[in-house]
Amino acid sequence: MKYKKISSAILTLALLLLSLSACSSDPTTKVLSETTSAEAPKNAFAEPAVASLDETAETGTITWLVYEDLLSEMSEMVNLFETRFGGSIEQQMTSSGSAYFDKLGSMIAIGDSPDIVRYEWRSFPHGMSYNMYTPLDSYIDLDSELWKGVKEAAEQFVYNGRHYYAPNSMDTNFALNYNNRVLEENGMRDPMDLLKNDEWTWTAFENILKQWVDLNPAHIGYNGVGGMIFIMTTGTKTIDITDGKIVNNLKSENVTRCMLWLENLRKQGLLGATPDQQSQGAVSGYVDPRQAFLDGNLLFLGMNPTWAYGAAKESMDKAGLENEMKFVPFPKDEKADKYYQGSNTVGFMIPAGAPNIKGALDWITLNRVEETNGENIANARAKAISDVKGYYPKCANPDCNDTSLSHDEKGRHIFTDEENASGMSLCPSCGEARREKYKVVWSEEQYDLYTEMKSADGRFTLLFDNVYGFNDDVSNLLIGTGSLLDAPVFEDGSYTNLVDSLYNSVESYIDFYRNLMISGGGTVTAAAEEVPAP
């Protein structure tokens, strides 16, 4: 990758008292409330000046700020960073995601910025509105072979004409998870077949919900996320940020059409649990995938299959229940010009004032290189579809009393890489049978669809909605109990009434961010600068 240089001058931001909160990539996780000024701060400031970067400089040590132990979670990447670049990583952790942006703002404000942070949903536009990140346009060529696969995604995060974020990978975000065995047992068509025949549409989805709910009064057609993900199948984002403008589409034709369709499905008892079902203990909306399909009543769970598919399959297997877990994308809007799908991204950003730009760029580059490596892609697929048994790393016998060099503090044998590679199933010390470790086995068909749903090269056009990119005041109006996008789906709410009563409130909050964008960014210098509720 071609680097150009940026000065390492520290940009001091008066963000010490700014209350910001991190948003998990899981939309069901609520974030803590935060406050912002009713008007854009008048003391806007300039972005860091860009100069050339010494490509021959050592990678050195980078510091990252996280709220999860990434040194452990990404240990393989950390090792590659050390061996390939000679770099090292120092980790600073906050107590929780809610404290993450507070800490980041404080570090930037006193000139002690970390070198790298993970992208969070609230990074765009909230964090970018306060110039908390370093623009990457001088460093990353999105038209290059390495980055062109995520260029379209990166363009959805442009702020005031600059790229502050280039994701190293895409995620499926949401899909419709289901147990195909219950469909087979009832003579119903597999949605996967409908997808193959280009018949997986809103109408097909509605028809299969009706079939399912009509079979049994205990049946629930759909649970999971609310209207946002369905809206994106129209090709429209609820809140769009493009061409230097923040656009509120809540009253647009596509959003209204989609929400009224969902509201009608709810009235027919096809979405969420009915009041009678809820009185019997059923849940309307979010359901843990480990519990969702155990009683056989739920047909579709709208949730990220990266977790939900495996979690649901494992729970059913361990319960001894017959299952063939699958997932398909959300159905295509027949009126849309393309097959649009909601997506998520994974990647890193460089905070403003980061002292080791070169090291941070090396880390970002490494992640993208590994993500696009053909051998890695093939190995990941082979591992996912393999049914080879796996074992726990230690002997299961508490009285193993291993005397070899490979044992833990209790004397239990720790199997070496060579022993694991040989398929050793008995402890060489005591002869105890190894304890098998459960493994989710993906079908080839399912894994290939999963890969396509994360790629810009397949049949799907990937969109990212910005509803979680603002403060909690905005998020809570749009997502959650009583909200614009969820209440008509799971709570019998009227979208027409809700949008009439809440639209101006959403606009009032978004206007604050519009003003920040126009002014070039700003700071909040006192905690008293709060937005009164509209």
CB 167 within 8 A of CB 154: yes
Residue 52: pLDDT band (50, 70, 90) is: low
Q: Which helix (H) or strand (E) holds 165?
A: none
Tell if the pTM clears 0.95, that is, is over it.
Answer: no
Averaged pLDDT, 496-517: 93
- What pLDDT was estimated at residue 320? 94
**Cβ atoms within 10 Å, residue 299:** 26
Averaged pLDDT, 278-299: 95
- In this structure, what DSSP letter does residue 404 have? S
Residue 471: pLDDT band (50, 70, 90) is: confident
Averaged pLDDT, 50-68: 82
What are the backbone dihedrals phi and psi of residue 505, each rounded to the nearest 5 degrees, phi first?
Answer: -65, -45
- In this structure, what DSSP letter does residue 215 have? H
Residue 522: pLDDT band (50, 70, 90) is: low
Q: Which of 49-53, 70-74, 230-234, 385-389 has the lowest mean pLDDT?
A: 49-53
Averaged pLDDT, 127-132: 89
**Cβ atoms within 10 Å, residue 372:** 17
Nearest Cα neighbor of 235 from 344, 335, 124, 121 is: 335
CA 360 to each of CA 47, 63, 73, 249, 369: distance values in angstroms, whole numbers, following the listed order:
18, 9, 18, 36, 14
The fold of the 1-170+343-372+503-534 domain, in CATH, is D-Maltodextrin-Binding Protein; domain 2 (3.40.190)
The structural domains of the chain, with segments of one domain joined by +, span 1-170+343-372+503-534, 175-342+443-469, 388-438
Residue 521: burial class (beta carbons within 10 Å; 0-12, 13-18, 19+): buried
Residue 528: pLDDT band (50, 70, 90) is: very low
12-49 pLDDT, tens digit per residue, is: 232 322 333 333 333 333 222 233 333 433 333 345 44
Averaged pLDDT, 283-292: 95
Residue 489: pLDDT band (50, 70, 90) is: very high
Nearest Cα neighbor of 240 from 440, 14, 5, 469 is: 469
CB 407 within 8 A of CB 390: no
Here the tokens at position 93 are 């952790």
What are the backbone dihedrals phi and psi of residue 411, each rounded to the nearest 5 degrees, phi first?
Answer: 85, 10
* 532, pLDDT greater than 70: no
**Cβ atoms within 10 Å, residue 252:** 17
Counting Cα atoms < 13 Å in the Cβ hemisphere of 299 gives 29
The fold of the 175-342+443-469 domain, in CATH, is D-Maltodextrin-Binding Protein; domain 2 (3.40.190)
* Contact residues for 442 (Cβ-Cβ < 8 A; gap 6+): 309, 384, 385, 450
Q: Specify the length of the chain in residues.
A: 534
Supply the Cα-derived Rg of the chain in whole angstroms: 25
397-446 pLDDT, tens digit per residue, is: 999 999 999 999 999 999 998 998 888 999 999 999 999 888 999 999 99
Q: Are strands 460-463 and 436-437 parallel, antiparallel or unpaired?
A: unpaired
- What pLDDT was estimated at residue 396? 92
- The alpha-helical segments, DSSP class H, found in 125-190 are 126-129, 151-155, 180-185
**Cβ atoms within 10 Å, residue 354:** 27
213-233 pLDDT, tens digit per residue, is: 999 999 999 999 999 999 999
- Report the distance separating Cα 22 and Cα 97, nearest Å: 5
